[in-house]
A and B are shown apart, each in its own frame.
Chain A
Amino acid sequence: SAVISQKPSRDICQRGTSLTIQCQVDSQVTMMFWYRQQPGQSLTLIATANQGSEATYESGFVIDKFPISRPNLTFSTLTVSNMSPEDSSIYLCSVGGSGGAGSDTQYFGPGTRLTVL
């Protein structure tokens, strides 16, 4: 199993500002994933972060808005830039199992609850 921590757990921000969310895993993992959960909705993948390479963004998400860093195999950050109230969501990082593509449990962090005023 994997234990994931996120910082901050929640924040209230003003529109136009940026927030960087940190994700720390207790073991080395190849891929880390960033998801967004808008109020009342399910989870949507923002991007996949591999160590040593650029993050891969899903349709509808761009690097300028959600820059991601992956400096090592246990840590990643997601920045929400130039925030608007529509960015109010829970942001979660996750890691997949070590058994290869789609073969093992995925674990999620506790989430960062962001409110933009």
Chain B
Amino acid sequence: KQEVTQIPAALSVPEGENLVLNCSFTDSAIYNLQWFRQDPGKGLTSLLLIQSSQREQTSGRLNASLDKSSGRSTLYIAASQPGDSATYLCATPQGGSEKLVFGKGTKLTVNP
């Protein structure tokens, strides 16, 4: 059974700093891994999806990497802004299904 862990649970940084969020998974036979952003009390916004055959994906200031052999993915945020403050979740499908297994998230605060 797939398990997903995110460390740290919370992170506070000054504006402008580059930062890395971590996601680890127990079963390396994944189909893909997806990063989401969640604002307080709101739904999820998909940020990036990395297919199992890919090493990284980029969107603007965001870069997500995937290392299946080590069971890890990272989300790199460049030049952080206060508007980046949110909880970031990673998730991967359970087995061969579309059912997602989520980590508990990293709550990011970017201080002006």
A interface residue numbers (CB < 8 A to B):
6, 31, 33, 41-45, 48, 90, 92, 94, 96-97, 101-111, 113
Query: In the complex the two chains form, what is the Cα distance from A105 to B96 in whole Å?
Result: 15
For B32, B51, B89, the residue with the greatest tally of chain A CB atoms inside 10 Å of its CB is B32
Nearest chain-B residue to A40 (Cβ)?
A: B104
Instruction: Contacts A42-B105, A43-B102, A45-B99 given; indicate if A105 touches B46 (C-beta within 8 A).
Output: yes
- Chain A nearest CB: distance from B48 CB in Å? 9
Chain A residues near B31 (CB, 8 Å)?
Answer: 101-103
- Asked if B99 and A105 make an inter-chain contact with CB atoms under 8 angstroms apart, the answer reads no
Complex: A16 Cα to B53 Cα, angstroms? 49
Most buried by A among B51, B99, B105: B99
A103 contacts across to B, CB distance below 8 A: 31-32, 51
A107 to B51 alpha-carbon distance, docked (Å): 16
A42 touching B104, Cβ below 8 Å: yes
B76, CB-defined interface residue at 8 Å: no
Which residues of B lie under 8 Å from residue A97 when comparing CB positions?
Answer: 98
A108–B36 CB distance below 8 A? yes
Interface residues on B, range: 20 to 34
Given the known A-B contacts A42-B102, A96-B98, are A108 and B44 also in contact in the complex, defined by CB atoms under 8 Å? yes
B61 at the interface (CB under 8 A from A): no
Query: At the interface, yes or no: B49 with Cβ under 8 Å from chain A?
Result: yes
A104 and B99 alpha carbons, distance in the complex (Å): 12
Can you spell out 12 A-B residue pairs with CB atoms less than 8 angstroms apart? A33-B100, A43-B91, A92-B44, A101-B96, A102-B31, A102-B96, A102-B97, A106-B46, A108-B43, A108-B44, A110-B42, A110-B43
Query: What are the 9 A-B residue pairs with the smallest beta carbon separation, nearest first?
Result: A102-B31, A102-B93, A96-B98, A108-B44, A110-B43, A111-B43, A42-B102, A42-B104, A43-B102
Give, as a whole number of angstroms, the nearest-CB distance from B100 to chain A. 6
How far, in whole Å, are A94 and B31 apart by their CA atoms in the complex? 18
